[in-house]
Amino acid sequence: MSETTLHIANATDATFEQVVIAASRTRPVVVDFWAAWCGPCRQLSPLLERVAARHVGEVDVVKVDVDANPDVARRYRIQGIPAVKAFRDGQVAAEFTGLQPEAVVGQFFEALAPSVADRLAAQADEAEPDQREALLGQAVAEQADHPAAVVALATILAERDDSDEAARLLRRLPADPAARRLLAELHLREGAADDIDDLRRQAATGGQPRLRLGRALAANGDSEEALEVLITAVRDPDTREGARSAVLELFAVLGDHSELVRAWRPKLASALF
């Protein structure tokens, strides 16, 4: 936790998007919806400040006067005050209404604050290279499926050719885009070859040599030619499944916004059906 001074900002109808929504993409923002005439609001305010002071630099606190800012109050359906809503990544992540005991408010903040694994992963980002792996290992030991720590540690392992261990870690995050992309890249690397020309000659006969050529081209970064070769291999019943998997791995590496992916996805569908 940081020892810096607590600062509580005020948000208005005009500034809410910047002060709360945009800011919550960096770290959680707790919004206290209040009014000057509200007795429970005046009781909750110092309690919030005491708890927030324990999480400076980890969770921000913003106050919104519902009388002065009816648009925001209406947008978030504030019907009773005090109302407290926590925002993370632009969305409401947790909330409570009414005056609550300090222990309850403390638990509310603790759930939003970085975990031990979060803190270790953040330290690793700032650490010297010789310390990063140890910190990331500690983070993964704390939380086996911590996305940032798993991907960062797997990247280090992959860079020193420990692909099996990197892949084992990445399989813990089947739905994480960064993990899926790196895992696909590791699979494609298995097809890397020194002599592409020799593979081209072999691929003239089709079948498995053509599939190996496509994977080798993908591993070497020749994505467009790789897609041409692999889509042809998809049309061959003997290599259909292997080629389809290789194309999907290459799509994952390139990303959904890649022009190549947008151009070749319909061609894959056509080749399959």
| pTM confidence score | 0.61
4 confidence band (pLDDT: 50, 70, 90): low
Verify whether residue 198 is a known catalytic residue. Answer: no
Verify whether residue 41 is a known catalytic residue. Answer: yes
Residues 11, 38, 211, 243: which is the catalytic one? Answer: 38
Cβ contact 88:26 at 8 Å: no
pLDDT of residue 3: 45
pLDDT of residue 262: 94
Residues 11, 41, 64, 149: which is the catalytic one? Answer: 41
Q: Which of 205, 249, 258, 196 is nearest to 225 (CA)?
A: 196
String of DSSP letters for 185-217: HHHHHTT--S-HHHHHHHHTT-HHHHHHHHHHH
Residue partners of 119: CB distance under 8 A and separation at least 6: none
CA distance 29 to 15: 14
pLDDT of residue 31: 97
The whole-chain average pLDDT of the chain stands at 91
197 confidence band (pLDDT: 50, 70, 90): confident
Answer whether residue 1 shows pLDDT above 60. Answer: no
pLDDT tens string 205-261: 888 889 989 988 888 888 999 999 999 999 999 999 999 999 999 998 888 889 999
193 confidence band (pLDDT: 50, 70, 90): low
